[in-house]
């Protein structure tokens, strides 16, 4: 068994390089590769072969982790296309998006301060729906339009949304304790 550690994750799993992904095919390919590269299958081999097995298993697991989540898959596609999403450096967002974020944050803060679990749960549900809509735009930008600039902007937006979802989760957890 030999895996090309240089191929991209899509090639590793035998999937087309696109945002839309057959999750069942990804999972099936992951299980198949895992069964081939798992270190336990190579425990009887010399140390060099064991190390290679560990590298393969690590690469397979990393690829699965990246491709199974929409946001990390999008970031990876941008990276493969040579596009820097500017996640750490580009925080420029449209005024409309910034206003929307401020409104979301204020609503979360008010519900948290008032200990309104039901309001926080409703906000979380609305935010999940909003994230699904934004993900649809990301899919179109990447797969249909090949608009990597728009996709990079959308990735940054989704990161804001994901962070806010975590804040709501934290607030709910604190109130339920």
Domain-embedded: residue 87:
no
Mean pLDDT along residues 148-155: 91
pLDDT score of 87: 67
Name the nearest CA neighbour of 167 among 116, 114, 109: 109
The tens digit of pLDDT for each residue in 62-120 reads: 999 999 999 999 999 999 999 887 666 666 677 888 888 899 899 989 998 898 899 99
Mean pLDDT to the nearest integer, 142-168: 92
Domain presence at residue 76: no
Q: What is the CATH classification number for the domain harbouring 171?
A: 1.20.1280.20
Residue 120: both structure tokens together? 């926080």
Instruction: List all residues 6 or more positions away from 158 whose beta carbon is below 8 Å from its beta carbon.
Output: 70, 71, 74, 131, 134, 135, 138
Per the structure, the count of domains in the chain is 2
Domain that holds residue 63: 9-68
Do 40 and 99 belong to one domain? no
Whole-model pTM: value is 0.82
């Amino acid at each position: 068994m030999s895996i090309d550690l240089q191929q991209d994750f899509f090639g590793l799993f035998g999937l087309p390089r696109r945002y839309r992904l057959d999750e069942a095919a990804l999972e099936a390919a992951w299980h198949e590769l895992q069964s081939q590269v798992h270190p336990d299958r190579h425990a009887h081999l010399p140390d060099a072969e064991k190390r290679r097995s560990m590298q393969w298993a690590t690469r397979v697991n990393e690829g699965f982790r990246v491709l199974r989540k929409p946001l990390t898959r999008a970031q990876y596609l941008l990276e493969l296309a040579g596009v820097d999403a500017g996640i750490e450096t580009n925080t420029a967002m449209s005024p409309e998006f910034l206003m929307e974020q401020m409104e979301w944050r204020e609503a979360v803060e008010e519900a948290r301060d008032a200990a309104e679990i039901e309001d926080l749960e409703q906000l979380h549900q609305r935010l999940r729906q909003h994230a699904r809509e934004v993900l649809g735009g990301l899919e179109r930008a990447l797969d249909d339009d090949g608009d990597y600039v728009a996709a990079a902007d959308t990735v940054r937006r989704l990161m804001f949304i994901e962070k806010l979802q975590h804040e709501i989760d934290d607030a709910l957890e604190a109130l339920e304790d």
